[in-house]
Chain A
């Protein structure tokens, strides 16, 4: 991945190969099916200049939704870890939530909420929250028993034990969840925008499709891939900063 600077040469080679394939393909199939690379580049320039507001709207929705899912999900995960009764009831509820297809959540959101912002927010939160809750819960359950005994031997209050031991131990789980949720949340946000909003990358994709602007669809696709890479790189950086206490392990 570009952001990690690991294997960036390979990534560039794959991108070059994809562009070359696209260019060659555009020579043999009609332009409305496969546009050539210069046309896509031109479309990309256009969308970046004229539709910056849509990009910002999508990023804002994504950030709000993931942040809320992180906060509420982590809180629920900690509650599940600290109070067994909460875990007993929350686990089946979260499993049911995860079993509901994303499309159904989007339809519920369209039927339940008038505001486009609330619709997207609801869908992103309801889909991402279970991942945070269950992973934070697993993180708490995975706290080594000897560390629990060591901290407990100093007789902390329950709040101190959560702050000193449980929360720091869940950080790797939160970062791992964010890493996997981000890509999924982008797809969900775009999908929800495609159906339920007038502003945002999803809405622009919808417009491009209805105008048969295949070059714009490719341009938006490239923009989304870059956004995904940048966000993953940001999480990677956070990972290195917050988890420097974990020694690198590797098999020979």
Chain B
């Protein structure tokens, strides 16, 4: 990874103040229904600052609905959501620049170059043009996209486009990164590469990350903690993944089987 002059200062997790920081994300007894069908049923969990958590569940478990509620795009029917101390839907402007999303597909603006896309969040934040260009360029370089800066999305491969969307998110230096199946649209080799890039950036920066994925293997590889969702969405089990486990394929496999057992139990129950 190339060192970048304008990269933000990492917020290292071990440098926390003695007094415990408030949780970055808190969901308490959150409910949401779509047309009479309950998608989220009493969802409760919290994320510590700097933590990487993955929500896993079967298709239609309401994982994306939960993530979009954390994003503030959907309002819960009842229950409370606090993101960095704010209500994400009501305090829309207060969280500007603090949350960044990465979606399943890149969702780049097709008329913008990779550089202009990477600078989108900074532009919305009101960063002056020259500075946002420099910062976006730096993040593209970190993600190996130096030569692609002036390219339009349709001129890039799927993996490159997803890297641009990662650059767009990281360029904001967000406190919370929300990833909705961010690697599942890519082939396995490309996904592994993009995932490795993501981890190499998110872990040193200490960015709090909430991932939604249907891939248990991906969750085990990436997360500090796995929240196993039932259907409708509620946390039926939590599995911690210690750093040594993530480095050990055998231990990874054991955790993966444990998560799968919870998932199967949730479906059977």
Q: Contact string, A150-167, partner B, CB cutoff 8 A, digits 1/0?
A: 111111110010001100
Q: How far is the CB of B77 from chain A (nearest CB, A)?
A: 20
A172, closest chain B residue (CB): B111
User: Chain B 89-104 against A: per-residue CB contact (8 Å), 1 yes, 0 no?
Assistant: 0001101110111010
What is the predominant secondary structure among interface residues of chain A facing chain B? helix
Is B28's beta carbon under 8 Å from chain A? no
Q: Is B123 an interface residue (CB 8 A)?
A: yes
A154 x B96 contact (CB < 8 A): yes
CA A247 – CA B156 in complex, angstroms?
Answer: 12
The reply to whether B110 and A150 contact each other, CB–CB distance below 8 Å, is no
Name the CB-closest residue of A to B113.
Answer: A245
Whose C-beta in chain B lies nearest to the C-beta of A244?
B152
Give min CB distance, A96 to chain B, whole Å.
34
Interface residues of B in 119-136 (CB under 8 A from A): 120-121, 123-124
Looking across the interface, which residue of chain A has its beta carbon closest to that of B152? A245
Note all chain B residues with C-beta closer than 8 A to A153.
71, 73, 99-101, 178
User: Are A164 and B99 in touch, CB under 8 angstroms?
Assistant: no
Interface centre among B95, B103, B110, B178 (most CB of A within 10 A): B110
Interface string of B183-218 (1 = CB under 8 A from A): 000000000000000000000000000000000000
Cβ < 8 Å to B, chain A residues 119-165:
146-147, 149-157, 160, 164-165
Residue in A147, A149, A160, A246 whose beta carbon sits within 8 Å of that of B109 in the complex: A147
| Given known contacts A153-B99, A247-B154, A164 and B121 CB-to-CB distance under 8 angstroms | no
Q: Are the CB atoms of B124 and A156 closer together than 8 Å?
A: yes
Instruction: Decide yes or no whether B240 CB sits under 8 A from chain A.
Output: no
The reply on B107 being an interface residue by CB < 8 A is yes
B105 at the interface (CB under 8 A from A): yes
A171 CA / B71 CA spacing, docked (Å): 30
Residues of chain B contacted by A247 (CB below 8 angstroms): 154
Of all chain A residues, the one with the shortest Cβ separation from B104 is: A146
Q: B152 to A154, Cβ gap below 8 A?
A: no
- Which residues on the A side are within 8 Å of B154 (C-beta)? 245-247
Contact B124 A155 (CB under 8 A): yes
Measured between beta carbons, the chain A residues less than 8 angstroms from B71 are 153
What does the 1/0 interface line of B65-102 toward A look like (CB < 8 Å)? 00010011100000000000000000011011101110
Are A155 and B93 in contact, with the CB atoms below 8 A? Answer: yes
Query: CB-nearest residue of chain B relative to A246?
Result: B110
Please report the C-alpha to C-alpha distance between residue A160 and residue B125 in the assembled complex, in whole angstroms.
Answer: 10
Contact with B along A215-252 (1 / 0, CB 8 A): 00000000000000000000000000000111100000
Cβ-defined contact, B93 with A150, below 8 A: no
Closest to B103 in A: A150
Bound complex: CA A157 to CA B92 (Å): 10
Q: Are B107 and A146 in contact (CB under 8 A)?
A: yes
Knowing A146-B107, A155-B93, A165-B109, the reply to whether A160 touches B101 (Cβ < 8 A) is no
How far apart are the CA atoms of A245 and B112 in the complex, in Å?
A: 8
Q: Report A-chain residues with C-beta under 8 Å of the C-beta of B112.
A: 168, 245
* A160–B124 CB distance below 8 A: yes
Taking a contact as CB atoms under 8 Å apart, the answer to whether B105 and A154 are in contact is no
Asked if A154 and B120 make an inter-chain contact with CB atoms under 8 angstroms apart, the answer reads: yes
Known: A245-B152, A245-B154. A154 touches B100 (CB 8 A): yes
| B111 and A245 contacting across the interface, CB-CB below 8 Å | yes
Cβ contacts under 8 Å, A244 to chain B: 152
Min CB distance A186 to B, Å, is 30
Whether B109 and A164, one on each chain, are in contact in the complex, defined by CB atoms closer than 8 angstroms, is yes
CB distance B95 to A155 under 8 Å? yes
- For the complex formed, measure the closest distance between the CB of B128 and the CB atoms of chain A, giving whole angstroms: 15
A154 touches B121 (CB 8 A): yes
- B258 CB to nearest chain A CB (Å): 33
Partner of A146, one of B95, B103, B124: B103
Q: Which residue of A lies closest to B165 (CB)?
A: A150
How far apart sit A155 and B68, CA to CA, in the bound complex (Å)?
A: 13
A170 to chain B, nearest CB (A): 11
Looking across the interface, which residue of chain A has its beta carbon closest to that of B116? A164
Chain B residues in 8 Å Cβ range of A169: 111
Question: B95 to chain A: which residues have CB within 8 Å?
Answer: 155
- B105: which A residues are within 8 A, CB to CB? 146
B124 touches A150 (CB 8 A): no
The A71-126 residues at the B interface (CB cut-off 8 A) are none
Partner of B111, one of A146, A152, A154, A168: A168
- Having A164-B109, A169-B111, one finds 20 other A-B pairs with CB under 8 Å, namely A146-B105, A146-B107, A149-B68, A149-B103, A150-B101, A151-B109, A151-B120, A153-B73, A154-B172, A155-B93, A155-B96, A155-B99, A156-B124, A157-B93, A160-B123, A164-B120, A165-B109, A168-B109, A171-B111, A245-B152
Mind listing 5 A-B residue pairs with CB under 8 Å? A153-B99, A153-B101, A155-B97, A171-B111, A245-B153
